Amino acid sequence: ACSSKSVLSQMHPMWLGPLEVPGGDHQSPIDIAVKKAVFDSDLKPLESSYDPQTCQQIWNNGYSFLVEYDDTTDKNTLKGGPLQDKYRLCQFHFHWGESNDWGSEHTVDRRLFPAELHLVHWNSDRYTLFEEAVMEENGLAVIGIFLKVGKRHEGLQKLVDALPAIRHKDSVVEFTRFDPASLLPSNIDDYWTYHGSLTTPPLTESVTWIVMKQHIEVSHDQLAVFRSLLFTSAEEEVQKSMVNNFRVQQPLRGRTVRSSFT
């Protein structure tokens, strides 16, 4: 499910920082200036419906770890909010820092969070494969959720326990019966939305971003296990800790960020 490697990411090792796309003026991530966001009363509540039985595997792709879902049927759908069509979940992953002081990709009034969760969906009303949708303006919808360090996240622990098995790049293990809804904050009606891009290759400007206002809490120890992952494969002599796997912020270039709340 949406896990075929992009050629680009083979040519450009990600820990050197994703390459900048010349000329793109709808790039992500961005800073969300709360006061400049425009309330849009036409924005509907988000409707997500996920089936934990369709969870397939968890793997280290050399930049983050991805939990992948069977996206060959409409079992894991997202609609409503700013979306005109129905989108299918294919994977979720995280970005984090080497310390709790930074790690998120988006910021809110320049505030950095220690990590950010992305749930990647593609438009299954208009396209038949992720690879097609990834090239189209209305192809993808990514939900961004900020993580803060606090109490232990019970839902996350099953995922944290699987990480030592995928320490190295390109390692994969079977991972089943994980409910992505367990990672959503209690309030998913309050969000910011704007048009942007993937923050890793192919960096295409095909994403309707939906960034949740409410964060989720994970414990310091849970986040420390993220940092025990490696960018490097088992064969490489020098092992590099998988930390700071976020892209630098990109210019807004006149885009408007809308909010679903006042």
Residue pair 88/76 in contact (Cβ under 8 Å)? The answer is yes
Residue pair 76/51 in contact (Cβ under 8 Å)? The answer is yes
Residue 121 contacts Zn ion per CB under 5 A: no
Nearest distance in Å: CB 3, ligand MS5: 6
Residue 213 contacts Zn ion per CB under 5 A: no
Residue 63 binding target from ligand MS5, Zn ion, none, CB below 5 to 8 Å by type = ligand MS5
Q: Which is nearer to ligand MS5, 51 or 68 (CB)?
A: 68
Q: Which stretch binds Zn ion (CB under 5 A): 55-63, 71-79, 116-124, 126-134?
A: 116-124
Residue 118 contacts Zn ion per CB under 5 A: yes
Beta strand segments in the chain, E: 31-32, 38-39, 46-49, 55-60, 65-69, 77-80, 87-96, 107-108, 115-123, 140-149, 172-174, 191-196, 207-212, 216-218, 258-259
The Cα 85–Cα 114 span in angstroms is 32
Q: Which is nearer to ligand MS5, 72 or 152 (CB)?
A: 72
Residue pair 87/78 in contact (Cβ under 8 Å)? The answer is yes
The Cα 134–Cα 211 span in angstroms is 19
Residue, CB closest to Zn ion: 118
Which residues of this chain interact with ligand MS5, rule CB under 6 A? 2, 4, 6, 61, 63-64, 66, 93, 118, 120, 130-131, 134, 142, 198-200, 202
Instruction: Name beta bridge partners: 166.
Output: none
Q: Which stretch binds Zn ion (CB under 5 A): 13-21, 27-35, 37-45, 112-120?
A: 112-120
Residue 4 binding target from ligand MS5, Zn ion, none, CB below 5 to 8 Å by type = ligand MS5
